[in-house]
Structure 1
Amino acid sequence: MKNNYLILSIILFGQLLTIMDIFIINVSIPSIQRDLQASNGEMQFMIAAYLIGFASFLITGGRLGDLYGRKKLFVIGLLFFMISSIGCGISSGAIQLVISRFIQGTSAALMAPQVLSMIQILFPDHEQRTKAMGWYGITIGIGTIAGQFLGGYFSSLTGFEEPWRFIFFINVPVCLLAVFFSVIKLQESKMMMKQSFDIWGVLILSTGLFSITYALTALEQGGFSLQNMLVIVFSFLILMYFIQNQKNRLKNNKPFLIDFELFCFKNFNLGIIAVSFFFIMLDSYFYILSVFFQDGLKISSLKAGEVIVFQGIGFILASVFSVKFILKYGKIALIFGLGFIMMILILQIIVFRFQNDYYLFCLLLFLHGLGVGTIIPSLANIAFSGMPEKLIGNASGVYNTFQQIAAIIGIVLIGSVFYYFLGEKPVMRHYHNAFTIAVILNVFCLIFVLVAVVKVPDYVLPKLLKVNPEITESSINEKFHR
């Protein structure tokens, strides 16, 4: 078991890089824009390119891991992530940086599904798996904080010309270490049955996901223009065709990309619903909070970043301590955590309207992080409980894809509502009203998450598995499968 935790620490390096590079560029935007003489639109796509590449190839990455080996795909992802990070660091223009960021996101999509897959395989026991997912949550928190801190630190270095390039070069030694230990420590795992790879399915799905993530990102930047709406319609048609194509291939015993048997597992469906609404809430919350703090409350970007870091600290602490509560109380701990987040959000609406105290803001963000850190690791645990190994890579890719697209949808939809109530010439009152409406929508999203968690069968929880030894992994599989 100690060896399994050593392996866990190795694969979590991949997760750390994936999360860190989502955030690391944000603080460096002004200096990058100045040095590369990039337009506002080009800067927006530098941020979006990573997410577009990431979301577009997660399912493909999971399926490749199933067929050709999860260790192999994890190492390949690390190597391409390192190469693309070097490409970002040496970029001489905005277009080169956008392309390198897209490749970086695609590389992350090869790594991320393997991380979740290997955790499920390494820790088949529910208690150990819950602890492992706690470390997974800690890694997300560290990646969030490290990304924002390192982005600000490297961008402000003196004595270097264009110091922002270090935010990409820092990935190189981390990738090299992770590759070295992965090669010598990780065991290969893949499907025992030989199958061909569905290249046509990859092309269709990647086109559909690329189109929809691009369109959603463009909506956030350019509004509901005719061009953006046409791209969304096109992407939905492509994805509908993909679903029908995959069903036909399964029916005719041809190579496929998504095994729709995944959606026969009740727990997986509940996990997908829960993670989707949770990330609609979470990413839109961070988006509107940053705008509200800096433009509405006139808090400096440095101070706003410091306040948000307290959220990450709360997240990490909760990921450490929530494991015991989840093992002891099962889904009751998750229900409490969701209720706690709702309470903190409502409290923020009231406090932010009448107070402007830096330390009080830090406390509220810290408490919000405690709630979030209680929930995120367990959502993946819910989705993958009872999932057979042959489907785990596919499930990881689908789960991560829903999570990323939900994050973009949240920013676009709730962000649009926020800006609608803000108006064209906003004053302080408008910022408070817009923030209130947006946070109320966040609370409604959490209600959907709460309903999904309540519907999770009690017999899947580690607490009950320990109490009743007659409940086995195979019996869970049977109960989850409709």
Structure 2
Amino acid sequence: MSTETSKTSPERSNGPAQEERNETTAPATTNGSSVDRRRWLALAIVMTATFMDLVDVTIVNIAIPSMRQHLGASTSAIQWITAGYALAFAAGLITGGRLGDIYGRKRVFLIGITGFTVASLLCGIAANPGMLVASRIFQGGMAAMMVPQVLAIIHVTFPPHERGKVFGMFGAIVGLGAVSGPMLGALLSDGNFFGLEWRPIFLINLPVGIAAVILGRVFISESKAPKALRLDLVGVVLATSALVMLIYPLTQGRENDWPLWGFVCMIASPLVFAAFVAYEKYKIKKDGSPLVELSLFKVKSFAGGIVVQLTFGLATGIFFLVWTLYMQMGLGWSALRAGATGIPFSLAVSAAAGISVGKLVPRFGRKVLQAGALIMAAGLLLYIWESEHYGMEIAAWQMAAPLVLMGIGMGLIVAPLNDTTLSEVPREHAGSASGLINTTGQMGNALGLALTSVVFFGMIEDDMVFGPPYVEAFRGALWWVAAVLLVIFAVMFMLPRKPIPMEQREGGSEYAGPTGSPEPAAPAAEKVPAP
């Protein structure tokens, strides 16, 4: 393992010095210098971008019934508004990270946040469901360029002794996004500001995004991978095609009476995925720069963690969409009332996440994650019972108990899952592995959203008849989610009994960063699903 060295080349101008770092090290700082101040401003900018992405994911679900009402969106369009974003995000995450390594993380970050802001504008002015879906897919693709650069920029901007504090702040931003997104979405959509109905949930990104682009050009320093890398375009096309061939028919099938072409696409999807695996093996032999490092799957704990990530994303993708539809289109609640109902869940996630990482997992290992799956399943069963017992008269406070149980269970899983999955992966592959974990989670989320056409809308004869049919379908969907959580519990036996301490992991004190370039070790951030 090579020793890190700093190679900087200042470009002098009337503004702050712009440094390009070809290796991922933190800049030297002096007390009171402009460089010292710049790194905190750079942190504020990238964390603002992270917050935008997190809130945009959580804010949309709560406004979907309003979008459906005012745009006349079909069932499949509703699914695509959320699944399209998740699919584009999943398909582009690893590619976005590699582009940052090749062309510069600052450059790709600025392109991503600019595109994300433009996409937000297009979503906000969408005249019909088709335009909104296309804009959401574009927005997900731009997020995939923006998000992978955040941790890499933090790595090159801050010295090792400051990163603990920085990642603590990063975790707080993730928690804040999870808690504030649903309420912000409810306030903006229910408020009907300037008669714009749901549109402010997207338009609010415009001033934030514009400010981030302007300030990012000045205060973020450029960095690239220390060695030349190549982009695996064929791998990108094959992987994306396999995903689309599975998710598109699932989403559109019900509205088209499950046509033959849909089944052909779904059957062909695993074949295209097999072609992707074969090509990646060829790519490894050819130039050693595959899109996915296949040797990672020889590590049992990593393979198990990937399956957990995929199925957990599937479960949460189903739950959060059908939960929103249940409260607003089944029970007839306002967006504000539905958003407020989710507060106990979000608080429980944040509290359990902190305890699980700091105290429980080091002592009890994978049992904590397995307990989380069982607690979530118990919360779902309680929710099913309450929904059936109280029917249309159920109150928000009565939902608090199952939601708190689900929040505790989720917090016990999402916070330690990345580190547990990575614990037996060699350090030189940890960056690629981390990117693949996050990609798999988004794939699961997109698949879960697509499956709502089967497990939720498939139980409703006429999806324009609101009320009890949506309540019944909600209970049916929860049984499926509970079953998936039991599968997750079983798969978790593939995880190590206890994560290997960081200092004892294979490969020394360095590891491949978020996209495969050598970087100092740092905790991988987990995007916490939220209503």
Partner residue, 1:365: 403
Cα distance in 2, alignment partners of residues 238 and 417 from structure 1: 26
C-alpha distance after superposition, 1:433-462 (max 9, x if no partner): 62563354143133135324xx31535146
Q: Indicate yes or no: 2:154 matched with 1:112.
A: no
- Per the alignment, residue 349 of structure 2 pairs with 315
With 218-227 and 167-176 compared, the bigger mean Cα shift is at 218-227
Q: SS of the counterpart of 1:367?
A: helix
Write the letter of the residue equivalent to 1:447. F
The question of whether the paired residues in 2 share the 8 Å contact of 1:63 and 1:397 is answered with no
Q: How far apart are the structure 2 equivalents of 1:154 and 1:38? A: 20
**Alignment partner, residue 407 of structure 1:** 445
Contact 1:156 1:163 survives alignment (8 Å): yes
> How far apart are 1:405 and its partner, in Å?
2.0
Deviations 1:203-231 (A, max 9, x none): 33333333333333334765643222222
The answer for the alignment partner of 2:490 in structure 1 is 448
The residue identity in structure 2 corresponding to 1:474 is: G
Task: Identify which of 42, 52, 68 aligns with 2:87.
Answer: 52
Q: With structure 2 as the length reference, what TM-score do the two structures score?
A: 0.73
Which is richer in helix?
A: 1
- Letter of the 1:87 partner, please give it: L
TM-score relative to the length of structure 1 = 0.80
User: Which residue does 1:166 correspond to in 2?
Assistant: 200
Q: Does 1:19 align with 2:19?
A: no
The answer as to whether partners of 1:20 and 1:144 remain within 8 angstroms in 2 is yes
Structure 1: distance between partners of 2:375 and 2:460: 28
Partner of 1:474: 507
**Distance change >3 Å, CA 13–CA 363, structure 1 → 2:** farther
Q: Superposed, which structure 2 residues align to 1:426-437 within 5 Å?
A: 434=476, 437=479
Distance 1:67 1:212, change over 3 A: farther
Alignment correspondent of 2:318: 284
CA gap of 1:392–1:15, structure 2 versus 1, over 3 A, is: farther
Instruction: Call closer, same or farther: CA 1:398–1:341 in 2, change over 3 Å.
Output: same
- The answer to whether the 8 Å contact 1:77/1:108 transfers is yes
Q: What's the C-alpha RMSD, in Å, of the aligned pairs?
A: 4.1
Secondary structure in 2 matching 1:458: coil
1:249 aligns to 2:283 (yes or no): yes
Q: What does 1:178-189 correspond to in 2, within 5 Å?
A: 178-179=212-213, 182-183=216-217, 188=222
Q: 1:391 to 1:41 in 2, by over 3 A?
A: same
Q: Partners of 2:156 and 2:257 in 1: how far apart?
A: 43
Q: CA deviation at 1:121?
A: 8.4
Q: For residue 196 of structure 1, what is the aligned residue in structure 2?
A: 230
Residue 403 of structure 1 deviates from its aligned partner by: 0.9
Within 5 A, what are the aligned runs for 1:8-407? 10-29=45-64, 31-33=66-68, 36=71, 41-115=76-150, 138-158=172-192, 160-179=194-213, 182-183=216-217, 188=222, 190-219=224-253, 224-253=258-287, 255-293=289-327, 302-326=336-360, 328-329=362-363, 331=365, 332-355=367-390, 356-385=394-423, 391-407=429-445
Q: Distance in 2 between matches of 1:255 and 1:261?
A: 13
Change (3 A) 1:118 1:277: farther
Cα separation, partners in 2 of 1:58 and 1:218, compared to 1, 3 Å? farther
Distance 1:10 1:316 in 2: 23
Change in Cα spacing, 1:267 to 1:117, as seen in structure 2 (3 Å) is farther
Cα distance, 1:365 vs structure 2: 0.9
Residue type of the alignment partner of 2:126: S
State the alpha-carbon separation in 2 of the partners of residues 296 and 175 from structure 1: 35
Partner amino acid, structure 2, of 1:172? L
In 2, Cα distance between the equivalents of 1:442 and 1:40? Answer: 23
Counterpart contact for 1:133–1:381, Cα < 8 Å? no
Mark the CA change 1:281 to 1:39 in structure 2 (over 3 Å): closer, same or farther: closer
SS, match of residue 291 in structure 2: coil
| Aligned residue pairs, count | 468
**2:385 alignment partner AA:** I
Query: What one-letter code is carried by the residue in structure 2 that aligns with 1:343?
Result: A
Q: Counterparts of 2:72 and 2:313 in 1: how far apart (Å)?
A: 33
Partners in 2 of 1:436 and 1:472 — Cα distance? 39
Provide the rounded CA distance (Å) in 2 between the counterparts of 1:371 and 1:14: 28
Alignment deviations for residues 49-105 of structure 1 (CA, whole Å, 9 cap, x no partner): 322322222232233234334444333211211122122223344433332221101
Taking every aligned residue pair, what percent have the same amino acid on both sides?
30
- Alpha-carbon offset, residue 376 of structure 1: 0.9
Question: Kindly tell me: are residues 400 and 302 of structure 1, through their superposed partners in 2, closer, same or farther at Cα, counting changes over 3 Å?
Answer: same
Q: Which amino acid counterpart does residue 149 of structure 1 have in structure 2? A: M
Tell me the CA shift for residue 354 of structure 1. Answer: 2.9
Deviates more, 1:146-155 or 1:327-336: 327-336
Q: Could you tell me which amino acid in structure 1 is paired with residue 191 of structure 2? A: L
Shift of 1:475: 6.1
Give the SS at the match of 1:460: coil
Partner AA of 1:451 in structure 2: F
SS state of the match for residue 24, structure 1? Answer: helix
Question: After superposition, what is the alpha-carbon deviation per residue over 1:361-392, rounded to whole angstroms, capped at 9, x for unaligned?
Answer: 12321332132123212212223446567645
Aligned-residue offset at 1:107 = 0.6
CA gap of 1:43–1:290, structure 2 versus 1, over 3 A, is: closer
- Whole-angstrom distance in 2 between the partners of 1:345 and 1:71: 43
| Equivalent position SS for 1:451 | helix
Structure 1 position 245, deviation (Å): 1.5
CA distance in 2, matches of 1:357, 1:220: 32
Q: Deviations over 1:5-30 (max 9, x none)?
A: 98766544333222322233334345
Task: Provide the rounded CA distance (Å) in 1 between the counterparts of 2:388 and 2:73.
Answer: 36
> How far does residue 420 in structure 1 lie from its aligned partner after superposition?
6.0
Report the CA distance shift for 1:365/1:199 in structure 2 as closer, same or farther (over 3 A): same
For 1:365, give the aligned amino acid.
Answer: L
Q: Identify unmatched segments of 5+ residues in structure 2.
A: 1-25, 30-35, 512-531
CA apart distance, 1:266: 3.9
* Aligned-partner residue type, residue 306 of structure 2: I
- Secondary structure of the equivalent of 1:195? coil
- Which residue pairs with 1:460 in the alignment? 500
Q: CA deviation at 1:297?
A: 5.7
Q: Once structures 1 and 2 are overlaid, which stretch shifts more, 278-287 or 77-86?
A: 278-287
Contact 2:61–2:324 (CA under 8 A) maintained in structure 1: no
Other structure's SS at 1:216 match: helix
